[in-house]
Structure 1
Amino acid sequence: MPGLADEKQPVPVLEGATRSGQPLTADSVAKALGPALADSRLGPKVSSVVLDLETGDRLYDKSGDTLATPASTIKLSTAAAALVARGSEYRIETKVVAGPNPGEVVIIGGGDVTLSVDGAGAYPGAGKLSDLATQVKTALAGQAVTKVIVDSSLFTGAGTGPGWAPADIGSWVNTVVPLAVDGGRVDPKDPAGEGAKRQPDPAASAGSAFAKLLSTDKVSVVAGKADVGAREYGKVLSPTIGRLVEFALLRSDNVLAEALARQAALGRGKQASFEGAMEGVQEAVAGLGLTPPTGQVDGSGMSPKNQVPASYLGGLFVRAAKPDHPELRYLFTGLPVAGFSGGLDPRYPPTADGTGVVRAKTGTLTGVDALAGVITTKSGRAVVFVVMADASPSFADARPAIDKAAGQLAKL
């Protein structure tokens, strides 16, 4: 799977935008969006808001405070919470400590699912098991390793989210664990991308990969728990939370989004479970002065049970643009850019309205199509645009209708 380094470079759609260009009028926005959002391809239930990014003024409202299914646009909420709870520079540790007997080591999952075997995996800058193995060998000073114990006790509760489609588990999303290599992908270069086949037990697979790096002889791999105060043999660090947020948003990485939700929980002193993650998200968002998303039930948006209003997602962007929470800038830098990167790359041809100036998170489930982000209009003004159509008859039809609406707004 291609890493972010392989993406085309987006244009700087936000630079200076909030301070340039005349504010749009509600009338002009309504004339541009009203017909576009009345498109029958979107289905009978459409909610949308347009906000001025600088002032927060609501320029357009179509059922904007009505609960709707956000699909993957809810990753914006998860990302904001993780950034607030942990800070953008925080890195997740994966440690190895002494086991209970000579020759035994314990690898402790700290919540990093982006680990790489040797640096050639799915995530640029990932912590490498090869580095961890080198540290352990040095610490053991020639003593052979006979057993690797995998401690994945950090995450608790159910491993899969409420309402997740069984067919999606093991590909688009997977059992949520605190230790995984390449997001649990069987093949990190699988052209299926985020839909790639996943390991049935990602933590055990990571333990087996680590064991192979420690010895050419057979090393047993078992589940277990580290002793309190056990001697540390080595550790590796994940990319920063800011960088992980960029990965999750640009790629719409469901596995990583669920791991980030657990970081929101841990950063707030909660259990790293679905319930604890949502408590962490709500606390972090409340700390931003926004109404907490009590209808959010997972970190990725894979559950159709998620329910939030379009105005909530719009408010996140307005809040992120303020100078007092600079960590939230990653909500902008991680967004796909129309015609250039992520899920919006193939949706906008070079000559389309919106190419290069629509930067937004996509969302798709059966019957649900959504888009939430920032658009720099032709006049040079940055506006927040959120639309959720959660009774759409066909995503193949609804998606171009949403893209057309964003393009109409970009022309103002």
Structure 2
Amino acid sequence: MSPPVPPVGAAPAPPAPPAAPPPRRRGRLLVALAGVLVLVLAVAGLAVLRPGPVARLLGGEATPSGATAAPPEPDPPVVLAGPDGNAPLPTDAGIRAALEPLVGAAALGDRVNVSVADVATGEALYGKGPDAPTVPASVTKLATGVAVLAARGPAYRIPTRAVAGPNPGEVVLVGGGDPTLAVDKNGFYPGAARLDDLAAQVRDALGGTAPTKVIVDSSLFTGPVFEPGWDADIPTGGFGAAITALMTDGARKDPALARRTAEETNHAAERVPQPDLTAGRQFAKLLGLTGGAAQVTRGAAPTAGGSGSAGPAPGTELGKVESLPVIRLVDIMISDSDNVIAEVMARQVALAKGKPGSFAGGAAATDEVLGELGLPAGEISLADGSGLSRTNRISPSLLTDLITLAGNGSHPELAAIFGGLPVGGWSGTLDERYRAAATAAGAGVVRAKTGTLTGVNAIAGTVLTADGRLLTFAVLTDRTQGSLDETRQALDRITAALAGCGCR
């Protein structure tokens, strides 16, 4: 397994001592990931949990009463410790010899753009159209993650507030853009802020004044709620949602069902059409309002000041809850390829840079932040933060530059980008990959974000070579026509070739 490279001058992490594998997959994982967790915890001071579907992050593995226990899963591949600081650098000729027979595979189509570089030095080792703008699909989330970590910082939390409305008993629910906000303890995202906690604060703040109405203020986000470049089935297919500044459970209609579905099939979940009003109705119910739709309307929070005839003055804060820290939101976004979180993260970048909280604002702000980090911002053109838009373009070399910057210790706050990267043959979108004989060398040592749209397949991340050298790679294809399995196998052969050779 390849964690980010420690800062210059830091000692490499010692390899984990060998141990007999416990029967439970989760137990082996926690031991094997120790090298990565130590670094990320040191950088962020926050817990980073196992990549994979969010519903599994905090357990849920016990067998229900009366149910038959499932047979134990086969042991996952061994995940290696950190890179060897003394490992030799692969040569350009060695990398070329390993990859040239593979990048022309028919399953990859007629447009395959590749970049490979060394993380420690930033030296480019191989390129095939490395600077060519290519449709990145969900690999876009790497750029979004780096941008929000730089603009907001790993510890930033997104507030959801309630303030007194213009008339006694009216409560304004003000969305701050937390996509993980839950109604109660049964929310989709473990550890999320909760509306029932906020409702309790509001009742205390109102004292003897009974709630009469909920006004929903989701004006922090502007512009269209769906990106025009999204495929027609995205709004209805469950992989995306209407992006509003107030929502619960990522706009999922039934978070409990969505959680079971994510665990069992990784399918998309049905989303509500108006996430902000849905959240307002949920909040109204928690406040004891059970009347018609007239008790929940959209509106703007009044400016604080003055005094009310009864109860708190209009605009007075009645309560506030805060999201998981950005480091955790980025982790979930990458490990689960959560498109809704990605779109909200892009808007957080926009707000941090003083731009509108919209698709266009997020794209412009991401470009600005990457430029400030010294990355070639001219090689990225975005329409959204998730990668659902087919109008997005990113060059492979920008991705390897970005990963190198996050991993070389020059910007410690960016190292959090690695916490959610799926591990080959082990977790997330790479859980079932790198299991065939032709790609087995990549199991446990490839950590990468994948991207998939019809005709578009991409992968970008890090790989530990047989010599212990940490490389970064990006392989983007946007004219594939074969089966998805064949294309993924062809991509995996490329990264497995890097894993299996010293390339000298």
* TM-score, scaled to structure 2: 0.78
Amino acid at match of 1:215: G
* Distance change >3 Å, CA 345–CA 386, structure 1 → 2: same
Please state how far the C-alpha of 1:327 moved relative to its aligned partner.
1.2
- Counterpart of 2:279? 206
What's the RMSD between the two structures over aligned residues? 2.0
Secondary structure at 1:113 match in 2: coil
Alignment partners' CA distance in 1, 2:282 and 2:395: 43
Are residues 392 and 332 of structure 1, via their aligned partners in 2, closer, same or farther at CA, if it must alter by over 3 Å?
same
Aligned to 2:390: 304
Say yes or no: does 1:384 pair with 2:472.
Answer: yes
**Aligned partner (choices 193, 209, 218) of residue 152 of structure 1:** 218
Q: Which consecutive unaligned segments of at least 5 residues does structure 1 have?
A: none
Aligned pair 1:243/2:328, yes or no?
Answer: yes
**CA–CA distance in structure 2, aligned partners of residues 13 and 242 of structure 1:** 23
**What is the alpha-carbon distance in structure 1 between the residues aligned to residue 77 and residue 386 of structure 2?**
27
Partner of 2:11: none
For structure 2, the 5+ residue unaligned runs are 1-53, 62-74, 305-314
User: Take 1:328 and 1:7, find their aligned partners in 2: how far apart are those partners?
Assistant: 30
Once the 2 structures are TM-superposed, how far is the Cα of residue 58 of structure 1 from its aligned partner?
Answer: 0.9
The aligned counterpart of 2:246 is 179
Within-5 A mapping of 1:140-289: 140-170=206-236, 171-189=238-256, 190=258, 191=261, 193=266, 195-215=268-288, 217-218=290-291, 220-229=295-304, 230-289=315-374
For 2:427, the equivalent position in structure 1 comes to 341
**1:350 Cα offset (Å):** 8.4
The answer as to 2:415 corresponding to 1:329 is yes
Question: Does residue 405 in structure 1 map to residue 494 in structure 2?
Answer: yes
Q: Which has the larger radius of gyration?
A: 2
Provide the secondary structure at the position in 1 that maps to 2:423.
coil
Match of 1:354 in 2: 442
| Shift in Å, 1:212 | 1.2
Counterparts of 1:359 and 1:6, CA distance in 2: 23
The 2-side partners of 1:381 and 1:13 are apart by: 15
Once the 2 structures are TM-superposed, how far is the Cα of residue 5 of structure 1 from its aligned partner?
3.0
CA distance in 1, matches of 2:245, 2:346: 12
Distance 1:194-1:90 versus aligned 2 partners, 3 A rule: farther
Q: Is the 8 A contact 2:119 2:408 kept in 1?
A: no
Q: Counterpart of 1:295?
A: 381
- SS in structure 2 opposite 1:406? helix
TM-score (norm 1): 0.95
Query: 1:396 aligned to 2:485?
Result: yes
- % of aligned pairs identical? 45
Q: Does 1:371 align with 2:426?
A: no
Alpha-carbon distance in 2 for matches of 1:242, 1:12: 26
Cα displacement string for residues 13-43 of structure 1 (whole angstroms, at most 9, x for unaligned residues): 6864262422111122112111111111000
Q: Deviations over 1:214-266 (max 9, x none)?
A: 11643711111101221000010001111100010000000110000000001
With 122-131 and 4-13 compared, the bigger mean Cα shift is at 4-13
Give the direction of change, closer, same or farther, for the CA distance of 1:263–1:13 in structure 2 (3 Å limit).
farther
Aligned length: 412
Q: Deviations over 1:293-342 (max 9, x none)?
A: 54111100001111111001111011111323111111111211112211
User: Which residue of 2 is the match for residue 75 of structure 1?
Assistant: 141
Taking a change above 3 Å as real, the CA distance of residues 113 and 308 of structure 1, as seen in their structure-2 partners, is same
Structure with more strand by fraction: 1
TM superposition shift of 1:4: 2.7
Verify: 1:2 aligned to 2:77, yes or no: no
Contact 1:10 1:337 in 2 (8 A): no
| Cα distance in structure 1, aligned partners of 2:159 and 2:111 | 44
Deviations 1:169-220 (A, max 9, x none): 1311111111111100112232154611101111111111111111164371
Match of 2:441, SS state, is coil
Q: What code does the residue aligned with 1:105 have?
A: V
Q: CA deviation at 1:347?
A: 1.8
Q: In the alignment, is the contact (CA less than 8 A) between 2:179 and 2:247 conserved in 1?
A: yes
Q: Is 211-220 or 318-327 further displaced after alignment?
A: 211-220
Mean CA deviation greater in 188-197 or 205-214: 188-197
Match of 1:90 in 2: 156
The reply on whether 1:54 has 2:120 as its aligned counterpart is: yes
C-alpha distance in 2 between matches for 1:321 and 1:39: 30
**Partner residue, 1:138:** 204
